[in-house]
Amino acid sequence: MLKFLNYILIIFLFHFHTAFAEKINVFKFTQEELSTLKVRKVRGADSKTKYTLGNNENGKFLKAEADNSASGLGKEVKINLNETPFLNISWKVEKDLIGIDEGSKKGHDYAARVFVVKKTGATPLSNRAMNYVFSSNNSVNTYHPSPFTKKSIDYVLSTTKENLNEWVTVKVNVKEHFKKFHNLDLDEINGVAIMSDTDNSKLNSIAYYQNIYFSSD
């Protein structure tokens, strides 16, 4: 997991832009975009998560199928948190990971998660992250440090205990969370990444991502 967080900031060098608007779309979920994003398997995982594109009445989405697998899609994007501090996500978990201990190394898997990363030093090891998750076992607004690194906080925005196989739209104030959990008063973040993973639990999951953007309110 720590290696994946380090990887996020490295691949951001290839996908960089600065955003200053009231609504900042992070991912387009197009074939062109998907072909430019590098999909990297997490070290120790048996295989990569399968990511495919689709459409529904609300537009384009990304489908993630993880079967004892772990890999992520990352993009570097500078977001001005003073202007657009809110991260918005629409997502759905069709098949969850019920029964695992998400706070342990053996159970640290999520059918859907979105990382927000801040580069805080000269090396990737110094980076801080908020890991917003669609939990299979914990309640909304619960949180804990990653069992692999205290520099990443897992925060539950949705749970299949309430919304299994249903689209859910959530919003979170990223600026406030970096202050609360990392004691960082940020003006901007450096990147966002998607990951669906089941490499620790050896299970399988199916999830969908749509309309990931930052907003002013």
**Structure token digits, residue 168:** 């859910």
Domain count, the chain: 1
- Residue 164: pLDDT over 90: yes
Which residue range is the domain that position 28 belongs to? Answer: 2-215
Min mean pLDDT across 7-11, 26-30, 130-134, 159-163 is at: 7-11
Q: Tell me which long-range contacts 28-33 makes (C-beta under 8 A, separation of at least 24).
A: 28/60, 29/53, 29/59, 29/60, 29/61, 29/62, 29/209, 29/210, 30/60
Is residue 107 scored above 60 in pLDDT?
A: yes
pLDDT 10s digits, 43-96: 666 789 999 999 999 999 999 999 999 999 999 899 999 999 999 999 999 999
Confidence of residue 37 (pLDDT cuts 50, 70, 90): confident
Q: Which of 90, 34, 59 is nearest to 212 (CA)?
A: 90
Q: What are phi and psi of 179, to 5 degrees?
A: -70, -45
For residue 125, what pLDDT is reported? 66
Per-residue confidence (pLDDT) for residue 126, from 0 to 100: 75
CATH of the domain at 157: 2.60.120.430
Cβ atoms of residues 91 and 167 within 8 Å: yes
Could you report the per-residue pLDDT of 111-131, keeping only the tens digit for each? Answer: 999 999 999 876 666 799 999
Q: What is the pTM of this model?
A: 0.88
pLDDT interval class at 101 (50, 70, 90): very high
Decide: helix, strand or coil at residue 76: strand
What is the pLDDT at residue 95?
Answer: 98
The torsion angle over the Cα atoms of residues 66, 71, 73 and 75, rounded to 10 degrees, is: 150
Residues β-bridged to residue 171: 88
